[in-house]
Amino acid sequence: MNHDGRPPEGFAPAGRTSLWAARVRLALRSSRETWRAFAANPIGVVGVAIILIFGLMAVAHPLLMATLWDPTTYDPVTGFGFDEISHPAPPSWRHLLGTDPLGRDILSQLTASTTSAFVLGLVAALVTVGIATMVGALAAYYGGVVDAFFMRLADLIIILPTISLLIVLTALLGLNLFQLALVLGVLGGFGGTAVVIKSQALSIKVKPYIEAAQLAGGGPWHIILVHIVPNLLPLSLLYMMFTVTGAIFSEAVLSFFGILHIRMSWGIMIHTASTGGYLLGGASYWWLIVPAGAAITLLCSSFYLVGRALDEVVNPRLRGR
């Protein structure tokens, strides 16, 4: 920050194009600054690194299937390891993480499931945050009946036992992965996240710059979209990270009960081990449980870590000197 009147960068505004050029440069500068603040925190960097590793796994699966892995042996759902005498087989050079009770390659299942975990988590998070931001902004701006309606709806969703509700819904409707993501997103968006974001929106609504926008002649939509929502986005992004964690976790639980219409997921991997009775075998069949369990834990915690680090960027109060 400098107060001495020196031009920070050489902007020479002369029309529409330079206006956009200036905006692009500002956006780049601010994202650089945000990244620097974010990267200063080891927690966030670790989180991003883990997410990147999972990203590589997700990309690797189709590539391996097309090149090294023969689909008859390595397909995560229909493959069978004819080379092993009995299944589940422990890790070997042909099956780095062993096979499951049905003779399928664990590593292939693990990498194949990564994509679905990402799709599920990100779709749920986007839906949640999109709904919660609009609901929060509207409830805070209009107050009164609008506020009362959305907040009572949120209360209703919060007091519902989520997992049992999801079990009932999936049993009745037979949800696939994408539909599950939508349901999780809608529940989150109208539920707890909306309450948090509304309270933030309330504190923005009373800022003098909202009055200044009214004085300029701006209507409700101008104020909501130009002034309230952009100032909510950092918090929304933060909650997005936490929603990803929640969504992946819910999927794992539902898959574990075996009630989702999903080809393969980490939850299903554990479900398979469980229905074969291998969960009771203790550590002797560890490759059936540990890879999937670790993947769930690691991916969930990586998004959580990123969220924590973002929190410090978004709330400068938490930032140390």
Partner 1 sequence: MLDQPSHTPFTGPLLQVRDLTLHYRTRQGDVRAVDGVTFSLGRGQVLGLVGESGCGKTSLGMGLLKLLPSNARLVRGEIIFDGQDLAPLNDAQMRRYRWRRIAMIFQAAMNALDPVYRVGEQILEAMEAHAWPGIEDGPAGQKRRQAREKVKELFRLVGLDPELMDRYPHELSGGMRQRAVIAMSLACRPDLVIADEPTTALDVIVQERILRELKSIQKELGLSLLYITHDVAVVAEVADQVGVMYAGQLVELGDTPQVFHQPMHPYTAGLLASFPSIRGEKRPLAALPGEPPSLVAPPSGCRFHPRCPRATKECRQEVPPVVGQGNAWAACWHPLGAAQP
Partner 2 sequence: MHRPDMDPASPAAAVPLVQVQSLRKLFPVGGGMFRRARRFVHAVDDVSFTLQRGESFGLVGESGCGKTTLGKLLVKLQPPTSGQVRVAKISPGAIPAEQALGWWDLARLKGKELKSFRRQVQMVLQDPYESMNPRRTIYDTVAEPLAVQHLGDVCERLDRVSQMLELVRLTPVASYLFRYPHELSGGQRQRVAIARALAMEPSFLVADEPTSMLDVSSRTAIMNLMLEVGQRLGLSYLYITHDLAVARYMCQRVAVMYLGKLVEVAETEELLRNPQHPYTRALLSAVPVPDPAHRRQVEVLRGDPSRPVDPLPRCRFYDRCPLAVDHCRDTPPPPLEAKGTDGHLVACYRV
Enumerate binding residues for partner 2 (CB under 8 A).
1-3, 5-8, 10-13, 15-16, 19, 22-23, 25-26, 148, 207-209, 211-219, 222, 226-227, 230-231
Inter-residue contact 176 to 115 (CB < 8 Å) = no
- The residue ranges that bind partner 1 (CB under 8 A) are 2-4, 321
Residue closer to partner 2 by CB (options 161, 219) is 219
| Minimum distance from residue 155 beta carbon to partner 1 (Å) | 31
Residue 85 binds which entry of partner 1, partner 2, none, with Cβ cut-offs from 5 to 8 Å by kind? none
| Minimum distance from residue 3 beta carbon to partner 1 (Å) | 6
User: Which residues pair with residue 99 across a beta bridge?
Assistant: 105
Residue closer to partner 2 by CB (options 157, 229) is 229
Residue 227 binds which entry of partner 2, partner 1, none, with Cβ cut-offs from 5 to 8 Å by kind? partner 2
Residue 32 binds which entry of partner 2, partner 1, none, with Cβ cut-offs from 5 to 8 Å by kind? none
3-state secondary structure of 185: helix
Does a cis peptide bond (omega within 30 degrees of 0) precede residue 88?
yes
Determine how many CB atoms are found less than 10 A away from the CB of residue 179.
Answer: 15
| Minimum distance from residue 34 beta carbon to partner 2 (Å) | 12
Residue closer to partner 2 by CB (options 316, 320) is 316
| Minimum distance from residue 254 beta carbon to partner 1 (Å) | 47
- Residues ≥6 apart with Cβ < 8 Å to 165: 187
| C-alpha–C-alpha distance, residues 82 and 227, integer Å | 62
| C-alpha–C-alpha distance, residues 115 and 202, integer Å | 37
Residue closer to partner 2 by CB (options 26, 49) is 26
User: Which residues pair with residue 105 across a beta bridge?
Assistant: 99
Residue 161 binds which entry of partner 1, partner 2, none, with Cβ cut-offs from 5 to 8 Å by kind? none
Residue 35 binds which entry of partner 1, partner 2, none, with Cβ cut-offs from 5 to 8 Å by kind? none
Residue closer to partner 2 by CB (options 152, 261) is 152
- How many CA atoms are closer than 13 Å to the CA of 88, on its beta-carbon side? 25
Residue 155 binds which entry of partner 2, partner 1, none, with Cβ cut-offs from 5 to 8 Å by kind? none
Residue closer to partner 2 by CB (options 223, 270) is 223
Running DSSP on this structure, what letter comes out for residue 83?
A: T
Task: For residue 66, give both structure tokens.
Answer: 């097309």
3-state secondary structure of 104: coil
Inter-residue contact 278 to 101 (CB < 8 Å) = yes
